[in-house]
Structure formats: C-alpha cells, structure tokens
Amino acid sequence: MDIKLIALDLDGTLLTEDKQLSERNRRALEACIEKGIYIVPCTGRTFEGIPAAVRQVKGIQYAILTNGAQIQNAATGEVIERRALDWQRAVQIIDKISGCTLMYDAYADGRGKADRRFLDTLEYYEIRPEICELIRRTREPLPSLRDYLNETHPALDKMNIYFKGYDRETKRQVREALSELEGIAVTSSMPNNLEINGEGASKGNAILLLARYLGLSPSQTMAFGDGENDLSMMELAGIGVAMDNGNPALKKKADFIARSNEEDGVARVIEKLIL
C-alpha cells in the first residue's frame, strides 16, 4: 500500500472524547513521519483550535482547516489554498436563521468571531463543557457579527450554527432554508450543529489539492473520519477509514472501519496497514 499522505479528522477520530491525543496514536503518527509520510490534521477548526499535543508532533508540515476552506503550512502559517465564504452570503444566512433558537459564529482571518451575547450564554444551548471552553478560547467577542460583516467585508472561512440541545426539527428546518441559497456548502460534525463553507470547500477536495501540490496522486492518500463533514474524504481519498463510532452513512462509504476513537482506532489501522 503506497500511502504518502494521511489526513486525520480530530474530534471523534484522532482525539479521545476528552480531546486528548493518546500515546499510542502519537507514536503511530511519529512512525509514519519517520517513514516520509505526510501527516495532515484535517479539521473544522482553525489552526489555533488544534490541540497543542497535535501541533507539537514533530514533522507535521501541513494542516487542512475549517472543513477544507484553507490549506496551511503548519510551520510558517502560509496559506497554500483558500476557498472563502462570501461575507454577503453570511449576512443572508444570519437573516434567515435570526428567528430560531440557536447561536452562530464565523471564522475570518483564522480567528473565530461571535456575538458577545452568545459567548456569555453558551451553557443555555446545552453545548458540552469542553466545547464551551474551546469556543470561548478561540472566538473574539463582538457586539454584532452581522454588523462586523457589513462594516469590514471580510472573506470568511466558515460559519457554525449550534442548536439548543439536540433540536433535530429546528436543524432540519434551518438546513432546508439554507438550501435556497447558492454558493454555499452545508454539512455537520455533531448532532447539534451545522457548518457552512463556500461552494467547493470540503475536506476531500482539500486533500486532492494538497496531494497535487506535493506531487502525489489521489491513490497515495488515506483519510480517517467520523462525521458527516468527513464524507468527502471517504469519497475522494485513495483509502477512506471511518471510525466505529462514526456516522452510519460515512461508514457505508469507507474502505475500512477502525476501532473507536476511545480505542486508539487510528493507531490500530496505521499499525496494520502502513507500518
């Protein structure tokens, strides 16, 4: 198996439920790097949202961020490829969802931004404590995200929508409303969220772009994931590996099923197929 690039989703895949990088997974990544294989974090997060334990793995050179909206040189911060979400489209999204019980934020210039009123009341939306901590640490509080967009016209990487608890009906209604808008790609990484990127931005597309940049063929890529936003990786990477704890639709598309993220599933597959 001539794999030269391994793309790894973080939450629910490489990381444990308490957002830690296990020792076995870390050793597997380092062994791949020693063999000359590119290890690429592939996440819905920004670079600063990647846990330090992952960023500090020696030899990680590239990261795919915000669901494929950015490919970044991990050492220099250089953005190799970017597919932005238009700010005017983001304003339309806010207007469409403003009457619903939910919160939203957006990433611009590698930094999350959100209404202060949302950041002050995250617990109301029944978001898990570790996610609340991550959101507060990586979002800049604003009086109004909508006003910020109208005043500064930034190119956005991604928008997030979080629903109160597991309100599947509101999530369905919002997703249906967003389907009326052109130029966006809507996916989800958790039962209580939606993630909106610019058209053409996906983890799978970013893997192909990075492979081409590195002179590799798609068949030399492998991807691990667990969520709906990892579906494009299963479809486009040479080898797709879904976690046992993953989305059922994702598992149907995968070439292999790994043990869960709590059982060092990533390391087990790498040890068996790569090392």
pLDDT of residue 252: 96
pLDDT of residue 10: 98
Cβ-Cβ contacts under 8 Å for 176 (sequence gap 6 or more) = none
pLDDT of residue 131: 86
Listed as ranges, residues in the chain with pLDDT below 50 are none
Domains and CATH numbers, the chain: 5-83+201-273 (3.40.50.1000), 87-198 (3.30.1240.10)
Taking the chain, what is the end-to-end CA distance rounded to the nearest angstrom? Answer: 10
pLDDT in tens, 119-149: 999 999 888 888 899 899 999 999 999 999 9
pTM of the model: 0.93
Task: Let me know: does 138 contact 122? Beta carbons within 8 Å.
Answer: no
Q: Tell me the pairing of strands 239-243 and 38-41.
A: unpaired
Geometric angle at alpha carbon 168, from 101 and 156, rounded to 5° = 60
pLDDT of residue 165: 84
pLDDT of residue 51: 94
Geometric angle at alpha carbon 149, from 175 and 91, rounded to 5° = 30
pLDDT of residue 181: 94
Query: What backbone phi and psi angles, to 5 degrees, belong to 191?
Result: -60, -25
pLDDT of residue 93: 97
H helix or E strand, kind and range, residue 3:
none
Classify residue 249 by its DSSP letter: H
